[in-house]
Amino acid sequence: MGESAVTAAVLVIGDEVLSGRTPDSNTHYIANYLGQIGVDLREARVVPDVESEIVAAVNALRGRYTYVFTTGGIGPTHDDITADAIARAFGVDIDEDPRALAMLRERFAEADLNPARRRMARIPKGAALVPNAVSKAPGFWIGNVIVMAGVPSVMHAMLDTVGPQLQTGRRVLVESVAAGAIPEGAYAAGLETIVRACDAVSIGSYPSFTSEGVRNQIVLRSRDATALAQAVAQVRLLIDELASHAGQR
Amino acid sequence: MGESAVTAAVLVIGDEVLSGRTPDSNTHYIANYLGQIGVDLREARVVPDVESEIVAAVNALRGRYTYVFTTGGIGPTHDDITADAIARAFGVDIDEDPRALAMLRERFAEADLNPARRRMARIPKGAALVPNAVSKAPGFWIGNVIVMAGVPSVMHAMLDTVGPQLQTGRRVLVESVAAGAIPEGAYAAGLETIVRACDAVSIGSYPSFTSEGVRNQIVLRSRDATALAQAVAQVRLLIDELASHAGQR
């Protein structure tokens, strides 16, 4: 599919996802968002609320990808340890940040700004803040790591703030060809021939089992519109031929 | 929460998840399934259909956890490279397996058993097969790695087959206390005191923003029923006190 200069990983931080309590919807949302702006999501991980696990994952991912997006663990309770873990991963100090405290004061009266809530103003040294339009407590951006809330509505707002500041690549164009009930095993060889001839196009075959039987889909992705159109035409031809053979039987 | 001897990781293999085409529902399903039988899911990863990425992830995870469950990439098309990647990760040969071929023959007439479909009988040396009640092409189990289909209905059937053969631990008991509209910042300090006193209980606080405003939940997890009941009672007391204060204002 050709190389993109701009890549990303998602790191979901949260016991609740691993325990099965909460299905993670953030990875899918971020994957779509990044796709729209030409950033390739290359990996995603879910780790528990354990500082050493977060540190290890952040350091593994930030060395490999242009950006790392984390979600979760930036609230006021004892299990919100993301900011401290990120500071440790970067080897920087962490302390109450006057800018973050000012944001919290937009929501909380001074009497309500107790130590737990002030914890949400702890930001690693050198980080830029990511404002939170929904509930004020900010995320932050340090090095190539962008730290966001786990609550989907808050995360979406943070991503909208960060998005326009990201380096972006050429957007990947996507086309689908419905293979209907033609089995994957019937078109696999023909498809592989097309795949080998079309370096600039990434092609996937995705079965799904519906109440009406198998419904397969072939998905083609490329940054090169001409190469994509040619590959789509070849796949359509392959599928149409197989469909007409099947009809003749 | 005390240590469990039995741990697991999930490895989702598939470009379609990273591109945003397909939301991954398999991790959540496996997380719940394992929770029910006392296996702790400790990590999840999503990697693309790239052999070196799959090999690196499998080797990282299989050394750390009792089990690794992979999903995806075992069909008949060119993008189905999981079996070869697993063989490479374990440093074993891979070839057409007569037992797997016999399973495929339950579904396919000899004339339809083309090279693409026969690819689904390629199994790493030394692996046990995991039968596929839905569409016959088997998954497999090698070392501590269990390789399953990506199509959810097929994966579920495979997990049902594998489940009874797994080592299991004591099941984690879970209780929730609804904190309603009481803000996390109001109960964080009290909750932390309880957390520090209850070593055997893992406690998480989960906000959600609904159309009626914030609705928070405190989730308590433990293998020790007595410790769990004590912690739940303390959390209920804390929340009830805060609720009555709020009512008096």
**Nearest Cα residue in chain B from A30:** B20
Determine the Cα–Cα distance for residues A29 and B63; give it in Å rounded to an integer: 31
CB atoms within 10 A of CB A11: 24
The answer to whether the CB atoms of A184 and B116 lie below 8 A apart is yes
Is residue A243 situated within a structural domain? yes
pTM of the model: 0.94
Determine the Cα–Cα distance for residues B205 and A76; give it in Å rounded to an integer: 9
Mean pLDDT confidence for B106-129: 96
Q: Taking a C-beta distance cutoff of 8 angstroms, is the pair B182, B229 a contact? A: no
**Is the CB of residue A47 less than 8 Å away from at least one CB of chain B?**
yes
The answer to whether the CB atoms of A188 and B77 lie below 8 A apart is yes
Residues A131, A159, A70, A140: what is their CA dihedral angle, to the nearest 10 degrees? -20
Regarding whether A94 and A194 lie in a shared domain, the answer is no
Regarding whether B161 and B183 lie in a shared domain, the answer is no
Structural domain count, chain A: 2
Tokens of B153: 């209905």
**In 3-state terms, what secondary structure has residue A23?**
coil
The answer to whether the CB atoms of B19 and A43 lie below 8 A apart is no
pLDDT reading at B159 higher than 80: yes
Interface of B with A in 123-182 (CB under 8 A): 134-135, 151, 153-154, 172, 174
pLDDT reading at A39 higher than 80: yes
CA distance A80 to chain B (A): 9
Residue B247's pLDDT band, with cuts at 50, 70 and 90, is low
Regarding whether A179 and A125 lie in a shared domain, the answer is no
Query: Closest Cα to residue A176, out of A154, A199, A204, A156?
Result: A204
- State how beta strands A173-180 and A202-206 pair: unpaired
The answer to whether the CB atoms of B151 and A115 lie below 8 A apart is no
Tokens of A177: 């060809």
The whole domain housing A243 covers: 173-248
**Nearest Cα residue in chain B from A119:** B185
Q: How far is CA B202 from CA A217, B6, B28, B40, B221, in A?
A: 43, 17, 20, 13, 5
Regarding whether A239 and A147 lie in a shared domain, the answer is no
Output Rg (C-alpha) for chain A, integer angstroms: 23
Q: How many residues does chain A have?
A: 249
Q: How many contacts (CB atoms, under 8 Å) link A and B?
A: 185
Residue B60's pLDDT band, with cuts at 50, 70 and 90, is very high
Regarding whether B92 and B114 lie in a shared domain, the answer is yes
CA distance B126 to chain A (A): 26
Regarding whether B86 and B13 lie in a shared domain, the answer is yes
The answer to whether the CB atoms of A219 and B79 lie below 8 A apart is no
Regarding whether A134 and A70 lie in a shared domain, the answer is yes
**Nearest Cα residue in chain A from B153:** A209
Say how many Å lie between the first and final Cα of chain A, rounded.
37
pLDDT reading at B246 higher than 80: no
Q: Which of A134, A165, A196 is the last residue of a domain?
A: A165
The answer to whether the CB atoms of B45 and A45 lie below 8 A apart is yes
CATH number of the domain residue A223 falls in:
3.30.70
pLDDT digit string, tens, across residues A104-155: 999 999 999 999 999 999 999 999 999 999 889 999 999 999 999 999 999 9
Is residue B2 situated within a structural domain? no
Contacts of A181 in chain B (CB under 8 A): none
Mean pLDDT confidence for B165-186: 94
Per-residue pLDDT at A249: 41
CATH number of the domain residue A124 falls in:
3.40.980.10
Q: How far is CA A206 from CA A161, A244, B15, B30, B76, in A?
A: 34, 21, 11, 21, 11
Per-residue pLDDT at B8: 98
Tokens of A81: 């340890």
On average, the pLDDT of chain B sits at 94
Is residue B1 situated within a structural domain? no
Regarding whether A155 and A89 lie in a shared domain, the answer is yes
pLDDT digit string, tens, across residues A118-129: 999 999 999 999
Q: Which of B130, B165, B200 is the last residue of a domain?
A: B165
CA distance B54 to chain A (A): 11
